[in-house]
Chain A
Amino acid sequence: MFEEISLLIQKGKAKDVAALVTKALEEGAHPSDLLNAMIAGMDVVGEKFKNNEVFVPEVLIAARAMNSGLSVLRPALQASGVKPLGKAVICTVKDDMHDIGKNLVKMMLEGQGIECIDLGVDVAPERVVEAVRESGATLVCLSALLTTTMMRQKDVIDALKAAGLRDKVKVMVGGAPITQQFADEIGADCYTKDAASAAQAARAILEQQAAQA
């Protein structure tokens, strides 16, 4: 059954995933095992996406299937004390309206069991600071598509420093014009080229933070 759930996630069968997760819970499956099966499905999709074996639509429908399963599973996860891997604040930076990449990363992060606080697009640095304070998120993910807005990622990092929060969060950056060199120059902690890599990197960061806590 776990394998079947993973496969249905990969195929993007939202209704079937929800039905099978419901059935599995009724039959006594442990919520965390079901979550792991779903994450395994998203891992396969992410890996194929990185290798250009599947494309944005396949990722979107897989993520929709994941969310469908999660909506059934979430109450059971809470009831059994299973906590999310961690919390991430995610947004597209100020003056930039592009949200496809940001949404993809968000979906992939959620597919890893990470709770996302999505601030949307055109987000000012002070809103990110506020969201980190309120949520206790330890990861900030910043997207920028334009060469004219990429420097806004540095503005957020500066705002986190000014607010005394820089040491409490890791900052990931991404977007078409972003490079590792640029990420280093602005003092980001992590850059990834695509959404699947971002999800893997986020998981590694949050696991490392958990191990150090």
Chain B
Amino acid sequence: MTNKERALNILRYKPVDRLPAVHFGYWGELLHEWAAQGKIPLELARNWGDGNDYDKELDKIIGWDFNWQHMRGCSNGLYPGFEHKVLEVLPDGARRVQTYTGVIERVYPGVTSIPAEDDYQLKDREAFETLYRPKMQYRPERVNREYFASFSADTYDVPVGLHLGSVLGDIRNMTSVVGMSYLMYDEDETLFADIVDTYAEMQYQCVEEILKTGAKFDFGHFWEDICFNNGPLVSPAKFEEYCAKHYKRRTELCRKYGIDLVSLDCDGVIGQLIPIWLENGVNVMFPLEVGTWGDQFEAARKQYGPALRGVGGVDKKVFAQDKAAVDAEIERIKRLVDLGGFLPCPDHRLPPGSKFELVQYYAEEIKKIRL
């Protein structure tokens, strides 16, 4: 049985021989830690990326079967993006930078965490019409038809997904949470709907163009990141009002082309948005952050039944502890595995401090679980 068959069979409630050892990549600092400890070659730390050759090499060294983030897609963001440029260097050494999304970030030297948002440009109708709408249009050059015409996930022994884009997360990245909030609730609510609909139409056309080439995929995949430790960043009612139809449209398109599994990457506590996603065709939640954020996938799985699948749900913090902690976590997730439709995977990228031997141990142990 291949790892593709194992993963897809689990998500389709079909028999498998054993669990595959699935991961969601690493923080760059961790790979450099491991390289400094002599666990992995520095070249892998420097060049690693989701699904690339270095990722596969690392899989062999650690014992992973594959990285869930194995996607293909196109230029489905702002096109062209804003020019990435330094606007100002501040006295403390921080740089004010205009990013690809038009947001102005404050980047501090030596800090590897995400930059601080300083300002944003998508504030009103004029900014949308002049700066953003032209960059949100579908253009043929967004999709490499030649590549997709000869692409088939069937030639891979791991699941390969089609990236379906993002309904709200990308727009949040253009406005910041504060800006998105003001746009959603201010007097001109039609503007926010217009932004969401314009962007979604472009992304729909991108997905359609890819699928029309005859390319085959194992699953579709959205990225959102619209929740935090206390639940959704926006009210479920507003989320449904603005976004539901766009999930439905894209997932229906996937099904028309034979893609029955659609996963969605959303950090944080996602429980309140699950019913909206589920009703609109998204049926695999990822990465189920049980550790840092306390997400409760088990309860949701019991509530919504087999229609709801999950990938993730393994507390990544145990890899900084000891074998007993890893054993206890494996024991805990066996309950979820027994429910079916659940593929265990660390609940986000492995952070600095994760012990190489414990990660190897986990990968080895998870593969021993027979189903």
Contact = CB atoms under 8 A, between A and B. Distances in A.
Interface of A: 12, 52, 54-58, 60-61, 64, 95-101, 103, 120-122, 146-149, 176-177, 193-194
Interface stretch (B39-47, B126-134, B228-236): B228-236
B108 A55 contact: no
A122 B108 contact: yes
B294 to A, nearest CB: 9
Contacts of A61: 181-182, 185-186
Contact of B352 (A56, A58, A101, A148): A148
18 contacts: A52-B272, A55-B231, A56-B228, A56-B233, A56-B234, A57-B181, A57-B233, A60-B178, A95-B113, A97-B111, A97-B113, A98-B114, A120-B116, A122-B113, A147-B353, A148-B351, A176-B292, A193-B230
Contacts of B29: 148
Nearest to B186: A61
Contacts of B113: 95-98, 122, 146, 148-149
Given A57-B238, A58-B235, A100-B177, A176 B117 contact: no
B116 A121 contact: yes
B317 A97 contact: no
A153 B310 CA distance: 34
B293 interface: yes
Interface of B: 29, 106, 108, 111-117, 177-178, 180-182, 184-186, 228-235, 238, 272, 292-293, 317, 351-353
Given A95-B111, A148-B353, A55 B116 contact: no
Given A120-B116, A147-B292, A57 B111 contact: no
Contact of B231 (A52, A98, A100): A52
Contacts of A52: 230-231, 272
B108 A56 contact: no
B105 to A, nearest CB: 9
B116 A176 contact: no
A97 B115 contact: yes
- Which 3 residue pairs are nearest across A and B when measured between Cβ atoms? A57-B181, A176-B229, A60-B181
Contacts of A101: 228
A147 B317 contact: yes
B237 to A, nearest CB: 9
Contacts of A148: 29, 113, 351-353
Contact of B292 (A103, A121, A177): A177
Contacts of B114: 97-98
Contacts of B233: 55-57
B212 to A, nearest CB: 37
A94 to B, nearest CB: 9
Given A58-B235, A97-B116, A120-B116, 9 more contacts: A52-B230, A55-B231, A56-B177, A57-B185, A60-B181, A97-B114, A146-B351, A176-B228, A193-B230
